[in-house]
Amino acid sequence: MTEPSDPLIPELARKLVATLGLDMAPESLDPAAPLIGAGLGIDSIDTLELVVMIDKDYGVKIDNRAAGVEAFASLQALAGFIRQRKPATTA
């Protein structure tokens, strides 16, 4: 399980607010609140933008509806999803 103190959560909150141009402070997002249908006004185009950002920034693909439902359940879920699927970096 992802801890609330996980540094990936505020990073994702900042990226979500910036990517979608939301008029809110990233720290005001509840890490446990659903990202889709939670009053943030995220629509299918916004979701696609997030999918592209996650692929580009973390190398993690969300390539089907089931993966999207799992990933966008909350910021905590998204952080866990990325950690589980992030490719190993080679030095």
Look up the CATH number of the domain holding residue 57: 1.10.1200.10
The helix/strand/coil state of 35 is coil
Would residue 58 count as lying in a domain?
yes
Would residue 1 count as lying in a domain?
no
Would residue 74 count as lying in a domain?
yes
Range of the domain at 54: 8-85
User: What's the pTM?
Assistant: 0.86
Q: How far apart are CA 28 and CA 10, in angstroms?
A: 10
pLDDT in tens, the chain (91 residues): 444 578 999 999 999 999 999 999 999 999 999 888 766 778 889 999 999 999 999 999 999 999 999 999 999 999 999 999 988 765 5
**Residue 52 CB neighbours (<10 A):** 12
Place of tokens 């809110």: 24
Identify residue 91 by its one-letter amino acid code. A
3-state helix, strand, coil in the chain (%, to 5): 55, 0, 45
Would residue 41 count as lying in a domain?
yes
**pLDDT for res 2:** 43
Number of domains comprising the chain:
1
Q: At what angle do helices 75-85 and 44-58 cross, to 10 degrees?
A: 40
